[in-house]
Structure 1
């Protein structure tokens, strides 16, 4: 998916590009904080991340924005399509600031937290 988004002009930092073993041993709150400290916008396939206090804390503390795909079963091409289709809305949500979490749905993005 990262390469497909890069081909569409997105700047993508994969967890595996930063942490060893593709980030398998890195807690979510650590990679989220790492990215936010670099002004990166986190994207997760796990929409439940916003319901876990430790994992959402970096977003809250930094008044940042997090995006989650609303369907973990999508193929990579579908994920890329959803993100690309809503690129302008994603940028507007980032400009509004946070703390906030948004679900990227097939037909829109939707603020889902707080």
Structure 2
């Protein structure tokens, strides 16, 4: 997915580029904190992340914004299309500030937390 978004002009930082073993053993709160410390906006395929206190805490503490797809079973091409189509709404949500989590849905970006 990262390369597809990059092809559309997005700046994408994959956790696997910064952590060993493609980031497979890195807890969510660690990579989220790592990204937020660099002013990156986290994107997760897993919407449940917002319901886990330990994982959402860095977003809360930094008054940041996190995005997640509403369906992690989508084909990669559909995920990319959905994110690209909602780019302006994503930028508006980031500008609005947090703490907040948003689902990127087929037809909209919707705040899902808090």
Normalised to the residue count of structure 1, the TM-score between the two structures is 0.99
SS of 1:49's equivalent in the other structure is: helix
Unaligned 5+ runs, structure 1: none
* 1:10 aligned partner: 10
TM-score (normalised: structure 2)? 0.99
How many residue pairs get matched? 114
**Which residue in 2 is equivalent to 1:42?**
42
- For the aligned residue pairs, the C-alpha RMSD in angstroms reads 0.4
What's the offset of the Cα at 1:67?
0.1
Q: Deviations over 1:12-68 (max 9, x none)?
A: 000100101011111000000000000000000110000000000000000000000
Q: Which runs of 4+ in 1 moved over 2 A?
A: none
Aligned to 1:22: 22
1:88 offset after TM fit, Å?
0.1
SS of the equivalent of 1:112 reads strand
Q: Which residue of 2 aligns with 1:108?
A: 108
CA drift of 1:6 comes to 0.1
